[in-house]
C-alpha cells in the first residue's frame, strides 16, 4: 500500500465550478499536509499547507484535513481556466516528504 493515495483523474470541469481534490494516507506520523500545483513543464509550487485537522482558507482555495479519517481535501471555488494544472498532495513526517501521484485538472472556459 502506498503511503499516499490520490485519484489521478483526469478531472474536467466548466469554468466557475467548485472542484474537490482528495488524498488518503496511511501513516499516522505525518505532521504537515500540503497541496502543490504543477503546470506543464514546470516544477511544483506550494499552494497551501496545514499541520492540524480542520480547514484553512486562502482566497478561492480551501484545504481540509481530517486526521481521524486520514483524509485531506483541496477545494477550489469559482474555478478558472488558469487553474488547469496537476495538483499534488504531499505529507511530511518531519524528515521526508511523501507525494501523491497528482490529479490532472482541466477547467473549460
Contact footprint for another protein (CB under 8 A) = 6, 31-34, 36, 41-46, 49, 51, 88, 90, 92, 94-102
In degrees, rounded to 5, the angle at the alpha carbon of residue 64 between the alpha carbons of residues 62 and 69 is 165
Task: Please say which residue, 28 or 41, places its beta carbon nearer to another protein.
Answer: 41
For the CB of residue 3, give the shortest distance to another protein in the complex, in Å: 10
The residues near 88 (Cβ < 8 Å, ≥ 6 apart) are 6, 35, 36, 37, 38, 44, 99, 100, 101, 102, 103
Task: Please say which residue, 19 or 91, places its beta carbon nearer to another protein.
Answer: 91
Task: Please say which residue, 42 or 77, places its beta carbon nearer to another protein.
Answer: 42
Amino acid at each position: 500500500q502506498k503511503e499516499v493515495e490520490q485519484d489521478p483523474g483526469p478531472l474536467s470541469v466548466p469554468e466557475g465550478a467548485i472542484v474537490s481534490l482528495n488524498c488518503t494516507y496511511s501513516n499516522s506520523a505525518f505532521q504537515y499536509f500540503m497541496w502543490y500545483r504543477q503546470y506543464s513543464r514546470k516544477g511544483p509550487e506550494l499552494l497551501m499547507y496545514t499541520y492540524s485537522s480542520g480547514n484553512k482558507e486562502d482566497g478561492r482555495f480551501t484545504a481540509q484535513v481530517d486526521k481521524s479519517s486520514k483524509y485531506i481535501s483541496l477545494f477550489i471555488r469559482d474555478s478558472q481556466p488558469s487553474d488547469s494544472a496537476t495538483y499534488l498532495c504531499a505529507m511530511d513526517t518531519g524528515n521526508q516528504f511523501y507525494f501523491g501521484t497528482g490529479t490532472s485538472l482541466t477547467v473549460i472556459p
